């Protein structure tokens, strides 16, 4: 089941970045249409769509609005100016939001009721429920509310970013004789989004009530002696990018802490209101919130559907969720009692979430306790201060090891956690470095220096994803653990480069941004191009989250015209326009959207039968190539290389959760043809790992 396709505005060579990202969000939304998925997992995709759209407006739309306001005249390569881009975004976003509420109201909620899970509306409450909720409101909710009557002494407040609010229509005078007719009530973020009615109060099954419904129903209790004529939900989204002039900042930690306060009050970019809101209230909010009517979203139901995510913790019916799985632990070689002994013999590949991240934690713990380990160096991008990784680093520092952590404070929307992480590490004497001014440190590296037979030997872990145990259960990523001398020496050089000053070091095996990665990728693409021109079979397979870098796209066009078979697996934004005669006839682009978030970056080059395979922390994006510190590492062991190539080919065969990008910018959902086997790459990988362990 799917809604109508929306054609994306295109140029001759490149797709627009924002519209391509909206197309990804469309694919996420359409997961909620998939009746083969458990019901609450379908609802989860609706919630993910909501949070994705929030971030899209906070970052991408906020940036466009800012550029339009300051008069930035540069036109991007897709040819779409900022004003036209914002208009196209609004058109598609309104359609997607309408579809979101349609599938919720017409299918998800009715199916939940069939499973005896009820979201009870105010007009359905019994007298017993009203009495229970009145007491709940009086004791748990009302003490936290801070209503604001609107009058000359209390002008329209600065609405907190993404907070849920009510605008209230009032009649009558308060104790001071004031009668402004309107008030604002913010729903406290400390309250739960949903409340379950207990046994004896619920009529049947599991019954839940929105916190907003409780506040709405008892709004009259707040404005004593006045009549509440009606009230309506609304929510304001703001530009949430943090701006730091790093050249003028002496203390990056304090600067980030200061900017976090202002994130909640950036420029307005979107206003959501309930569909029953009358026109006079709509006009009032548009004026006070300084929102263009194009950016007003009337919704057919509760504002901010992500509030429904509370159900995932409240409902315990296993049939409504994906079947749980047990992550595997890699088997160490015989006569290897620890990771150091194991890595002397063989490299170790971890494929998350199928493999447990516990292996990395155990390796760190071994290093922390091992008396022969002298130093540990690690990059931390999205880790959190309360993490077993951080605990292991602290244990190492307490044991007298030299521990260095490169903490990227500016990981978007994780800045606050990273500030807390940096402060915790410093308390235990760990050397904390905030990377390089002007370049985010996005590389995922861990290096352990161990003295063995009077010599130092290095062991490293390199990954495509973050050192965050929670996301390794939700994202697909690769991690390579190795003691390969050349790779380890390269990682050591990068750490020295990040913690000291000097010219870029020459690498033996790794490519790294912003110095050699972009040139390296171009070199390997051009090598395949030359092979094809010389009649040698040539192929490129590249898997990444996003593709938005013109030189790489143009190099792929040239490869296609030379006869190279190019298969791209791009989860999200894709600037490249495939299937265009004389430009990209030999290029296919697919996106896989399934149970797990596809996050690994893998690059395969045929190389005349002797393939080069790389894994990387970097997407093929301008920011990754030129404005971040990134690593791209070779997979040298043939067995591991063959396994990764097999995985990539499985994704290329997926015909259940894959979407094929068309030359007009739309995506077509690939389905098995009559008599064809259904292939779900993620499910098959789960089965393979379960059988092999």
Please state the three-class secondary structure of 621-676 as a single string. EHHHHHCEEEEEEECCCHHHHHHHHHHHHHHHHCCCCEEEECCCCCEEECCCCCCC
pLDDT in tens, 22-62: 999 999 999 999 999 999 999 999 999 999 999 999 889 98
- The model's pTM is 0.91
Q: Which residue has the higher pLDDT, 454 or 34?
A: 34
What is the pLDDT at residue 47?
A: 97
pLDDT tens digits, one per residue of 619-659: 999 999 999 999 999 999 999 999 999 999 999 999 999 99
Residues 167/182, Cβ–Cβ less than 8 Å: yes
Catalytic residue IDs: 442
Q: What is the pLDDT of residue 254?
A: 47
The pLDDT assigned to 231 comes to 95
571 is in an annotated binding site: yes
- pLDDT band, very low/low/confident/very high, at 256 (cuts 50, 70, 90): very low
Predicted pLDDT at 413: 53
**For residue 3, is pLDDT > 90?**
no
CATH number of 17-320: 3.30.1840.10, 1.10.620.20, 3.30.470.30, 3.40.1210.10? 3.30.1840.10
pLDDT at position 192 is 96
Residue 5 corresponds to which tokens in the numbers above?
A: 């396709």
Whether the per-residue pLDDT at 528 is higher than 80: the answer is yes
Question: Comparing 17-320 with 339-506, is the CATH topology the same?
Answer: no
Q: What CATH number is given for 339-506 in this structure?
A: 3.30.870.10
| pLDDT at residue 410, as a whole number | 60
| Three-state secondary structure readout of 59-95 | HHHHHHHHHHHHCCCCCCCCCCCHHHHHHHHHHHHHH
Q: Mean pLDDT, to the nearest integer, of 393-411?
A: 88
> What pLDDT is recorded for position 408?
78
Distance between CA atoms of residues 352 and 569, nearest Å: 18
Question: Over the stretch 568-614, which tens digit does the pLDDT of each residue have?
Answer: 999 999 999 999 999 999 999 999 999 999 999 999 999 999 999 99
Q: Does 193 carry a binding-site annotation?
A: no
pLDDT at 503: 75
**For residue 535, what are the contacts with CB-CB under 8 A and spacing of at least 6?**
none
Residue 253 has a pLDDT of 45
DSSP track, 362-396: HHHHHHHH-TTEEEEEEEESS--SS-HHHHHHHHH
Confidence check: pLDDT of 308 > 70: yes
Q: What is the pLDDT averaged over residues 539-563?
A: 97
Domain borders along the chain are 17-320, 339-506, 512-692
- 512-692: CATH architecture: 2-Layer Sandwich (3.30)
Q: Provide the percentage of residues in the chain whose pLDDT is more than 90.
A: 73
pLDDT at 280 over 90: yes
pLDDT (tens digit per residue) in 605-618:
999 999 999 999 99
- Considering only residues 181 and 301, tell me which one the structure prediction assigns the higher pLDDT: 301
Q: Has 424 been labeled as part of a binding site?
A: no
DSSP 8-state symbol, 14: B
Residue 524 annotated as part of some ligand binding site: no
Give Dmax (Cα) for the chain: 89
Mean pLDDT of all residues in 233-243 = 81
pLDDT for the residue numbered 67: 82
**Helical packing angle, 62-70 and 82-103, nearest 10°:** 160
| pLDDT band for position 176 (cuts 50, 70, 90) | low
Residue 235 annotated as binding site: no
Which pLDDT score, from 0 to 100, does residue 241 have? 65
Query: What's the pLDDT score for residue 311?
Result: 97
Please tell me which of 6-20, 428-442, 482-496 the model is most confident about, judged by mean pLDDT. 482-496
Length of the chain: 693
Determine if residue 217 is labeled as part of a ligand binding site: no
Confidence of residue 381 (pLDDT cuts 50, 70, 90): confident
Question: How does residue 265 score in pLDDT terms, banded at 50, 70 and 90?
Answer: low
């Amino acid at each position: 089941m799917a809604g109508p396709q929306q054609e994306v505005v295109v140029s001759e060579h490149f797709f627009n970045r924002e519209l391509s990202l909206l197309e990804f969000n469309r694919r996420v939304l359409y997961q909620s249409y998939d009746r083969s998925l458990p019901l609450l997992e379908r609802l989860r995709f609706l919630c993910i769509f909501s949070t994705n759209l929030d971030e899209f407006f906070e970052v991408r739309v906020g940036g466009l609005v800012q550029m339009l306001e300051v008069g930035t005249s540069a036109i991007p390569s897709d040819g779409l100016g900022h004003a036209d881009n914002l208009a196209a975004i609004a058109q598609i976003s309104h359609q997607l939001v309408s579809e979101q509420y349609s599938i919720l109201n017409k299918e998800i909620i009715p199916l939940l009721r069939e499973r005896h899970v009820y979201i009870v509306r105010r007009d359905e409450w019994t007298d017993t429920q009203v009495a229970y909720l009145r007491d709940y409101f009086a004791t748990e909710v009302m003490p936290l509310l801070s209503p604001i009557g609107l009058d000359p002494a209390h002008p329209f407040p600065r609405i907190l970013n993404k907070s849920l609010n009510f605008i209230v229509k009032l009649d009558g005078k308060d104790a001071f004789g004031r009668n402004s007719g309107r008030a604002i009530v913010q729903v406290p973020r400390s309250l739960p989004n949903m409340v379950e009615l207990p046994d004896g109060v619920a009529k049947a099954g599991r019954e839940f009530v929105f916190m907003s419904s409780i506040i709405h129903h008892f709004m009259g209790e707040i404005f004593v002696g006045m009549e509440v004529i009606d009230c309506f939900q609304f929510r304001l989204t703001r530009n949430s990018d943090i701006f730091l002039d790093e050249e003028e900042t002496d203390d990056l930690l304090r600067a980030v802490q200061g900017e976090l306060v202002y994130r909640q009050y950036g420029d307005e970019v979107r206003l959501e209101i309930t569909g029953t809101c009358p026109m006079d209230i709509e006009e009032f909010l548009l004026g006070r919130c300084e929102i263009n009517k194009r950016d007003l979203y009337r919704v057919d139901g509760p504002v901010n559907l992500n509030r429904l995510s509370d159900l995932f913790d409240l409902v315990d019916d296993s049939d409504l969720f994906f079947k749980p799985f047990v992550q595997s632990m890699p088997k160490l070689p015989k006569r290897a009692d620890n990771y150091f002994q194991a890595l002397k013999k063989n490299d170790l590949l971890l494929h998350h979430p199928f493999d447990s991240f516990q292996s990395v934690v155990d390796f760190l713990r071994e290093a922390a306790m091992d008396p022969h380990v002298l130093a540990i160096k690690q990059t931390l991008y999205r880790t959190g201060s309360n993490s077993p990784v951080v605990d292991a680093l602290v244990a190492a520092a307490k044991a007298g090891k030299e521990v260095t952590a490169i903490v990227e404070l500016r990981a978007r929307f994780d800045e606050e956690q990273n500030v807390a992480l940096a402060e915790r590490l410093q308390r235990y004497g760990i050397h904390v470095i905030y990377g390089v001014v002007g370049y985010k440190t996005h590389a995922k590296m861990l290096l352990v220096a161990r003295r063995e037979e009077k010599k130092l030997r290095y062991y490293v872990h390199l990954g495509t994803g973050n050192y965050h145990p929670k996301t390794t259960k939700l994202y697909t990523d690769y991690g390579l653990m190795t003691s390969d001398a050349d790779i380890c020496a390269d990682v050591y050089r990068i750490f020295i480069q990040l913690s000291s000053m000097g010219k870029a070091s020459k690498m033996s095996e790794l490519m790294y941004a912003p110095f050699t990665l972009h040139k390296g990728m171009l070199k390997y693409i051009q090598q395949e191009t030359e092979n094809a021109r010389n009649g040698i079979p040539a192929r490129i397979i590249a898997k990444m989250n996003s593709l938005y870098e013109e030189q790489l796209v143009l190099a792929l066009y040239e490869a296609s015209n030379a006869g190279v078979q190019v298969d791209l697996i791009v989860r999200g934004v894709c600037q490249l326009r495939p299937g265009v005669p004389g430009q990209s006839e030999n290029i296919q682009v697919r996106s896989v959207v399934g149970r797990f978030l596809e996050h690994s970056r893998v690059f395969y080059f045929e190389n005349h039968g002797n393939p080069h395979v790389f894994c990387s922390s970097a997407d093929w994006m301008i920011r990754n190539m030129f404005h971040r510190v990134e690593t791209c590492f070779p997979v040298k062991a043939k067995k591991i290389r063959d396994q990764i190539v097999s995985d990539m080919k499985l994704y290329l065969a997926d015909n259940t959760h894959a979407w094929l990008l068309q030359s007009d910018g739309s995506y077509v959902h690939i389905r098995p043809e009559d008599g064809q086997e259904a292939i779900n790459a993620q499910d098959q990988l789960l089965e393979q790992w379960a059988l092999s362990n």
